[in-house]
Structure 1
């Protein structure tokens, strides 16, 4: 049995997937996501310190100051996060996924809710 002669086709040139987004919109999106992650991280740190103080495991003034600093940082970054959410919607050609936008809005609004709750239920 002989080998069948098959024609070797030339490999197709793969074009890189070029995004339709401009560099400005890409930079705004990256900054928006970093603000969202930072807001989420500072909120989690505040919740951990607040829970430790409310449980009464530790009563350290330094821990109270750290929690207050995390809450203040999450308030500031949350405002940036909300502002960048609207900016990204205006700048980008392709709209971001709804779940990501929802997470960003919740991460931006949560510090204000936490501020009210921390004022209502202060640690001893």
Structure 2
């Protein structure tokens, strides 16, 4: 989730992982990937999003899943309402302050670094 030159970074609740990650979740039956993005962001941090754009995917052998990475823009308020069952922290981080996870080849880490470096896909722009 981005807001101009800021990205929303999170830390999971109940896990000993000291590094920041991005909002994540699982696709439900009958749901498009874009609907999953909107739902997970709303559930975990209480934000509406728009301009959902696919980045890339990565097989995730730890749990036999396929990760699908998306960027999206916050729509409206940037006030975070944290789901403390899922997350212990969610903060807006300026582009230049984004730090990657050390020795991490995950899609999440790549997306954070891609944003920091200003290379994230901007999505489609339509003439008015």
- TM bin, normalised by shorter chain, reads under 0.3
Q: If each structure's helix is expressed as a fraction of its own residues, which one has the higher value?
A: 1
TM-score normalised per structure 1? 0.26
TM-score by length of 2: 0.26
